[in-house]
């Protein structure tokens, strides 16, 4: 089961050294909202895959490409209940604002259309093509198969603003049908994908490819900082065009992309309390800002849940005794010869439901296959601890220890672009 986390551009703080900094806001995940609303049990009974696992589904109708969708720009991220990041973009002339997920696990851009017939669209901003002087109708349709039904829409071209970058004639999708309660509850309007073009379902260039083609960025790099808590400043940032050494410590470990679709890399092994337990001969992993948890093959995840003392519930969730957190084992991922260790406070998600504090496992089962074998997905549970860098110029992913600090504002004076 896949649970996604969505990133959006909220506002531009400043640009320096050719970087664009975009703040990101963190909000409750759809999974958490479904749980709190009391509909998670029914949802999980009816759908064996997350409603947001569109990247891994067959497109609909058959023959249409899938929806996944920044250079030197920064986007600030805002954190709400340690679950889901979002921000803001603008489409059209004059601009119409939308909150979107900046998703490295997909490659397309879509937002709700004013012609949408679903309840979900009524709860979100809708694109009004007739109000824009720069809109061009595309004529094609697109579809994505979700666990709760098919998201359907039409395609167009429009002026897109991300921070202070303006992308001309960007292909994007207008959704006209968004099924399921999950879309209704989601605190984002759409998705902006940042994966490779081969993952795109909308024919044409994904947003970052358009930025590179239109020479809006100096370096073909973007990077993410995700905070642990909402009280942190910044809550999160997307940096387009490079990195910021104020947001991480230690050296950057560069890992080659093993397949250009997702940001897919080789993972040597996974150890629990220092003992190799999974992927003894190596496996493949996806670095995915659009997934809130860490996902892996069902058999491995079931064993991992046992090792950390997580027990299943009637709604498919895994709970951990909050009183035992300090005694839980650490989980280590070996990537590019470097150990990336998560303590229990990193992989356990705390929530208050009905006045009671509950501790949920940050691991979830999802069977996703590739030509190289089963895939693991390293989502925000992992990425809140490690600053991530996505380099299209050299087809590699960089990871470094995230520098979490209570007051980030004093660090702005020492921002630097790091691009070896």
Q: Which residues are catalytic?
A: 103, 288
Mark 116-151 as b/e (b = at least 16 C-beta within 10 Å): bebebbeebbbbebeebeebeebebebbbbbbbbbb
Backbone angles phi, psi at 186, to 5 degrees: -60, 140
Token pair 């009671």: residue: 356
Q: Strand order in 348-353's β-sheet?
A: 311-312, 318-320, 356-361, 348-353
- Strand ranges (E), 132-215: 136-146, 149-162, 165-177, 190-193
SS3 for 322? helix
Backbone angles phi, psi at 123, to 5 degrees: -90, 0
Joined together, the tokens standing for residue 282 give: 């190596």
Backbone angles phi, psi at 336, to 5 degrees: 55, 35
Alpha-carbon gap, residue 241 to 381, rounded angstroms: 24
Joined together, the tokens standing for residue 390 give: 């996505």
Element (H, E) at 185: helix 181-185
Task: Give rounded-to-5 percent helix, strand, coil for the chain.
Answer: 15, 40, 40
The terminus-to-terminus CA distance of the chain in angstroms comes to: 37
Q: Is the dihedral of CA 395, 401, 405, 410 positive or negative?
A: negative
Burial class (CB in 10 A: 0-12, 13-18, 19+), 369: exposed
Helix spans in 38-180 (H): 40-46, 119-122
On the CB side of 125, CA atoms within 13 Å amount to 19
**Cross-strand pairs, 149:** 146
User: Residue 239 in contact with residue 165, Cβ under 8 Å?
Assistant: no
Q: Is the dihedral of CA 259, 262, 264, 269 positive or negative?
A: negative
355: how many CB neighbours lie within 10 A of its CB?
5
């Amino acid at each position: 089961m896949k649970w996604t986390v969505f990133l959006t551009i909220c506002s531009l703080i400043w640009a320096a050294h050719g970087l664009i900094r975009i703040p990101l806001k963190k909000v409750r995940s759809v999974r958490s909202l479904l749980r709190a609303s009391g509909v998670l049990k029914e949802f999980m009974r009816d759908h064996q895959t997350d409603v947001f696992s569109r990247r891994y589904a067959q497109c609909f109708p058959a023959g249409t490409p899938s929806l996944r969708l920044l250079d030197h720009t920064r986007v600030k991220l805002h954190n709400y209940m340690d679950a889901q990041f979002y921000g803001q973009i603008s489409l059209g002339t004059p601009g119409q604002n939308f909150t979107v997920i900046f998703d490295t696990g997909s490659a397309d851009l879509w937002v709700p259309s004013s012609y949408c017939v679903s309840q979900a669209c009524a709860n979100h901003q809708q694109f009004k093509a007739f109000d824009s002087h720069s809109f061009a109708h595309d004529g094609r349709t697109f579809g994505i198969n979700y666990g709760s039904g098919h998201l359907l829409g039409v395609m167009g071209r429009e002026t897109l603003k991300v921070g202070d970058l303006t992308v001309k004639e960007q292909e994007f999708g207008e959704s006209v049908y968004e099924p399921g309660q999950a879309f209704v509850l989601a605190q984002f309007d759409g998705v902006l994908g940042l994966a490779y073009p081969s993952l795109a379902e909308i024919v044409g260039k994904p947003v970052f490819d358009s930025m590179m083609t239109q020479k809006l960025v100096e370096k073909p790099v973007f990077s993410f900082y995700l905070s642990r808590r909402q009280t942190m400043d910044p809550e999160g940032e997307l940096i387009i065009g490079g990195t910021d050494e104020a947001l991480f410590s230690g050296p950057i470990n560069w890992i080659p992309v093993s397949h250009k679709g997702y940001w897919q890399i080789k993972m040597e092994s996974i150890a629990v309390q220092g003992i190799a337990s999974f992927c003894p001969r190596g496996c493949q992993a996806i670095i995915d800002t659009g997934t809130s948890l860490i996902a892996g093959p069902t058999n491995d995840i079931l064993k991992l849940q046992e090792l950390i003392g997580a027990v299943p519930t009637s709604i498919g969730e895994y709970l951990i005794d909050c009183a035992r957190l300090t005694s839980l084992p650490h989980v280590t991922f070996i990537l590019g010869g470097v150990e990336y260790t998560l303590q229990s406070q990193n992989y356990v998600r705390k929530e208050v439901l009905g006045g009671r504090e509950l501790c949920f496992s940050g691991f979830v089962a999802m069977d996703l296959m590739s030509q190289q074998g089963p895939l693991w997905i390293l989502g925000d549970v992992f990425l809140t601890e490690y600053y991530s860098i996505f380099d299209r110029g050299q087809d590699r992913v960089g990871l470094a220890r995230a520098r979490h600090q209570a007051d980030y504002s004093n660090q702005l004076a020492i921002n630097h672009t790091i691009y070896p």
